Amino acid sequence: MLCVAATGCAHNPFAFLQRKAEPPVRIAASRTVGGFGNAFGNALDVEAATGHHVQSVLFERTLGDPLINRDIWSRDAAALPVQTRVLLEENGLRVAVVGGNLPTEFLRMLESGDGAVSPQAHTFGTRTDVVVPTVGPVEKCRFCVRADLVGTTETKSLDALHGGFSIQPRLADDGRVTLRVEPQVQHGERQDYIRPAADATGFTLQSELPQERYASLGFDVTLDPGDYLVIGWPAADEGDSRTLGAALFCVDAKGEPRQRVLVLRAGFRGEVVPAKPGAGRAIAAHVGR
């Protein structure tokens, strides 16, 4: 069953997960090679704050498009543990890091913004993570999940599904940025939950959508300035949509199946304190380098 994408893609369906609402950082459309270019649109101005920045954009094309279904993945593989990579593949997910001298077609896609959906840019002040949506709402969605390599595959049938990835940045010792990425979904109708208050003085009643987090499918990737983390789904010839990857990246537009891919870039603005005393002066890293 092909998943159905809704209108209004710029809305973040997981906003309630953020412990404190914070406006996203606004990043200018880059005019340099290696930037997101027009993928973010010309209306975004620079209002960069100190700390981590994560930029994201979805690209949507016809099912089986050569670039996002094949060419992106043929060059730069992310340095993931073998077991993690195999488990992701079992769930229809694949990960690549594209950097350096970018492939021509990939660069053209970034600079032209052709097929760009829901561009976003986030800062991390008091929050530690943000959920980047990739699909939803999907009225009815059926897919399979395999939580570990020795376990069995579980079939999920969920209504009103929103899918995406939790992104948690942290600074590496050398000044690069490491992203912790975990897939997760929300579904069904809102339910009331008792949660600790923000000031830790009591509890509050919050209305939330049920969620499922797939921590065992999470992974860590360290990015250099100018690197792009790409997450997607390998569309089979028959358009198989039974995996979690298909649920997160296969959509339907006017009765035709479409394929999406998520592109992320991370940066840090401010001083980077050396990990060890005497390791040298603090260095400055800036988003968009």
- Angle 42-130-154 from CA coordinates, rounded to 5°: 120
Q: In a 10 Å sphere around its CB, with 0-12 CB exposed, 13-18 middle and 19+ buried, how is residue 104 labelled?
A: exposed
C-alpha distance from residue 37 to each of 7, 32, 42, 208, 224 (Å):
24, 8, 9, 36, 18
**pTM of the predicted structure, to 2 decimals:** 0.76
In this predicted structure, the answer to whether residue 80 has a pLDDT above a threshold of 80 is yes
Q: Encoding tokens for residue 73?
A: 């993945």
Question: Mean pLDDT over residues 137-162, rounded?
Answer: 89
- Give the pLDDT confidence of 17-44 residue by residue, as tens digits: 333 333 333 333 332 223 455 554 433 3
In this predicted model, what pLDDT tens digit does every residue of 255-272 receive, in sequence order? 888 999 999 999 888 766
pLDDT, mean over the chain: 75
Confidence bin at 197 (pLDDT 50/70/90): low
Q: Does position 187 have pLDDT exceeding 80, yes or no?
A: no
Q: Which of 91, 53, 62, 70 is nearest to 182 (CA)?
A: 91
**No. of H helices and E strands in the chain?**
4, 14
pLDDT at 14 over 70: no
Confidence of residue 48 (pLDDT cuts 50, 70, 90): low
pLDDT of residue 30: 31
Work out the pLDDT band at 244, boundaries 50, 70, 90.
Answer: very high
Confidence class for position 101, pLDDT limits 50, 70, 90:
confident
pLDDT of residue 56: 93
Beta strands in the chain (DSSP E): 51-62, 94-98, 116-123, 130-146, 153-171, 177-186, 191-196, 203-208, 211-213, 219-223, 228-232, 250-253, 256-272, 283-285
Query: Taking 50 as the threshold, does the pLDDT of residue 97 lie above it?
Result: yes
pLDDT band at 122 (very low <50, low <70, confident <90, very high): confident
